[in-house]
Amino acid sequence: MKTTALIEKGKDGTFGIFTPDIKSTIIGEGATVAEAKTDFENSVKEVLASFEEGEDMGELKDIEFEYKYDVASVFDYFDFINVTKFAKWAGINAGLMRQYKSCDTYISEAQAHKIGQALRKIGRELSAISL
């Protein structure tokens, strides 16, 4: 079963991962997205290890996670992306983009969609490169 694992930056500056679509509580936390992912993956292992052999794992049987990021988490995890240059490339005000990255301002659904489209466009262009 494939389910969503949401990655969000908290008000304290740390990152958290949680699974809103399943009943089992699986979370991960860390100072960076990479640390939160490691903690999350360890939590998954611990939950799965708590089942006795042959016990019905229910919704956790063969579970896979699709990570979904908030804007701050994307730019933490992919920290090689220059936010200012990305903003220019995506047609977004650079100062506003930096505020989105630091969670200093609300991001509308339309702006989040625009950022997502720009990231996917970069991905397509990178995957088409031949060296």
Question: How does pLDDT run across 6-55, given as a tens digit for each residue?
Answer: 999 998 999 999 999 998 889 999 999 999 999 999 999 998 888 888 78
Q: What pLDDT sits at residue 51?
A: 84
CA distance 53 to 61: 12
**What local confidence, expressed as pLDDT, does residue 84 receive?**
95
Contact 76, 15 (CB under 8 A): yes
CB 65 within 8 A of CB 4: yes
The pLDDT score that the predictor gives to residue 108 is: 92
What's the pLDDT tens digit per position in 96-105?
999 999 888 8
- What pLDDT is stored for residue 116 in this prediction? 95
pLDDT computed for residue 103 by the predictor: 87
